[in-house]
Amino acid sequence: MIPDPAVSRARRFAEQVVMVTGTCGGIGSAICERFAKEGASVYACDVVAPSTEAVVTQLRREGASVETTVFDVTDPEACSAAVQEVADRHGRLDVLVNNAGVNRRGDLLTLDRADWDLSFAVNVDALFHLCRAALPIMINAGGGSIVNTASQWGLHPAPAHIAYNVSKAAVVAFTQNLARDYAPHGIRVNAVCPGEIHTPMLETGLARSGRTVADLNHVVPVGRIGQPAEVAALVAFLASDEAPFICGAAVEIAGAQAVA
């Protein structure tokens, strides 16, 4: 039986404000749910308004404090405005989770230039814009936490995914640099590096390749691929006061699997 790490008796984020980007995907919605169940006021952010509202509506039915902020993370001004909106409403921003991401496939000679540019705009540049907006708020408050979603492939490149691999490697480097620079201000910055997680993005990839979830389960040493709730549990732990000495880490969550 797979444990459900989304179920927590703790309310580690009571009275805290958490902003999560990329909330329409499986991992993003699970992150929102985890923080909401632990007492946070959550801002669910994505560029797709109907899907974002669907995530929020379900959580509100369960009594969670969740609001939506719809904007495009590739727009620097929109990133700054969204962070400022959260700070203006609550007077604080305790946790920023940079989870928005895209995966464009291809090796260097087959990848379209537009896909390369989009990969860096969403996976890397958005972190630059959002963190630049959030850091002064956290510094003035005496601290905060930032968790970035990188990838196992940012540490161990998979074939024919050069834009995704390199952009996620940049997320790891960005995380480590930010941690070194702002730890003295009480701001901890970490990254999660998921392997194969059962998300809509993974389902799309399986449909393209002709493989199945069962095929992937066979190559993961623990016997199965991961679940979004398990990534969300790791994100919440890294953001919480239970991880006060973890700063600048890039934590793999891949069930001991080598790159598929």
The CATH number for 188's domain is 3.40.50.720
Tell me, yes or no, whether 3 lies in a domain: no
Tell me, yes or no, whether 5 lies in a domain: no
pLDDT digits over 170-207, tens only? 999 999 999 999 999 999 999 999 999 998 888 888 88
Tell me, yes or no, whether 12 lies in a domain: no
pTM: predicted TM-score of the whole model, two decimal places: 0.94
C-alpha 34/C-alpha 24 separation (Å) is 14
Tell me, yes or no, whether 10 lies in a domain: no
Percent of the chain at pLDDT > 70 equals 96
- Predicted pLDDT at 3: 43
pLDDT digits over 58-87, tens only? 888 888 889 999 999 999 999 999 999 999
Tell me, yes or no, whether 130 lies in a domain: yes
pLDDT digits over 21-57, tens only? 999 889 999 999 999 999 999 999 999 888 778 878 8
Tell me, yes or no, whether 74 lies in a domain: yes
Q: For residue 257, name the pLDDT band (cuts at 50, 70, 90).
A: very high
pLDDT at 128 over 80: yes
- Predicted pLDDT at 260: 60
Query: Which residue is catalytic, options 35, 71, 164, 182?
Result: 164
Q: Catalytic site residue 182?
A: no
pLDDT digits over 148-169, tens only? 999 999 999 999 999 999 999 9
What is the domain count for the chain? 1
Tell me, yes or no, whether 40 lies in a domain: yes
Greater confidence (78 vs 219) lies with: 78
| 217: containing domain | 17-253
